[in-house]
Amino acid sequence: MRLLLVEDDEAIANGVRDALRRAGFAVDHARDGEAAWVMGGDEEYDVVVLDLGLPRLDGMTVLRRWRAEGRVFPIIILSARGAWLDKVEGIEAGADDYLAKPFEPAELVARVRALVRRKAGHAEALLTFGPLLLDTRRMKALVHGSEVNLSPLEYRLLHALAHSGGRPLSAGELSEMLHGVDAAEANAIEALVARLRRKIGAEVIETRRGFGYCLMDG
């Protein structure tokens, strides 16, 4: 799950980044508005956390430009200005949420998770696919009610499939999501899927030959 954090205050940025990383997000960090603008134009992030008071290019401007360009990723505004008028303005400009400083990192994490849930079209932090239950808050998986020990990559693979909304994800796409930008990692994904199937049961991960992988219904 890729997330862009736009924040110039290093102290706040470090705290937030750590909290988000612990929550399982791959966090990119932009320190000014122009960097944010470029990064948001290149990558397709799952969520953007956007400070308003930025050097070089104001946060609201970045927000409006993104929306004018048709970028649809969820955006949470962080701001020192907590008056209701500021909040209304931010949200009407296209933000999905508005959090006034100072705030507790845990609340930000909760709100980010709510947006990810909503973006994927479901409402709960617990997702079930047949015998598999994915607890996205604790980052754990249960099969038939008993906990399964997953490696980081295995968990992220399940997480990616669980949030794809039923769309099959190809090995290439998955490789790109789990590793860096460029894929091309031999058959690493197939091997990963095989190991995962041994742990959680073969039928949970469906192979759609020629399309990719997806999780079983239920």
C-alpha to C-alpha distance for 178 and 164, rounded to whole angstroms? 14
Q: Nearer to a second copy by C-beta: 35 or 109?
A: 109
How many residues bind a second copy (CB under 8 A)? The answer is 50
Q: Nearer to DNA by C-beta: 84 or 209?
A: 209
Among 149, 181, 182, 217, the residue binding DNA under the rule CB under 7 A is 149
- CA nearest to 80, candidates 155, 172, 19, 7: 7
95 binds, among DNA, a second copy, none (CB under 5 to 8 A by kind): a second copy
194 binds, among a second copy, DNA, none (CB under 5 to 8 A by kind): DNA
Name the strand (E) or helix (H) holding 26. strand 26-30
Smallest separation (angstroms) from DNA to the CB of 161: 13
C-alpha to C-alpha distance for 54 and 9, rounded to whole angstroms? 9
Site string for a second copy, 106-125 (x = CB under 8 A): xx-xxx-xxx-xxx-xxxxx
Q: Nearer to a second copy by C-beta: 13 or 150?
A: 150
Cross-strand pairs, 213? 169, 207
Smallest separation (angstroms) from DNA to the CB of 208: 8
DSSP string, 159-212: HHHHTTTT--B-HHHHHHHHS-S----TTHHHHHHHHHHHHH-GGGEEEETTTE
195 binds, among DNA, a second copy, none (CB under 5 to 8 A by kind): DNA
Smallest separation (angstroms) from DNA to the CB of 183: 10
Contact call for residue 82 and a second copy (CB under 8 A):
no
Burial class (CB in 10 A: 0-12, 13-18, 19+), 59: buried
User: Which parts of 133-152 interact with a second copy (CB under 8 A)?
Assistant: 137-139, 151-152
Q: For CA atoms 161, 163, 165, 169, give the dihedral sign.
A: negative
Burial class (CB in 10 A: 0-12, 13-18, 19+), 199: middle
Contact call for residue 195 and DNA (CB under 7 A):
yes
198 binds, among DNA, a second copy, none (CB under 5 to 8 A by kind): DNA
Cross-strand pairs, 195? none
Q: Which residues bind DNA (CB under 7 A)?
A: 149, 151-154, 170-171, 178-179, 185-188, 190-195, 197-198, 202, 207, 209-212
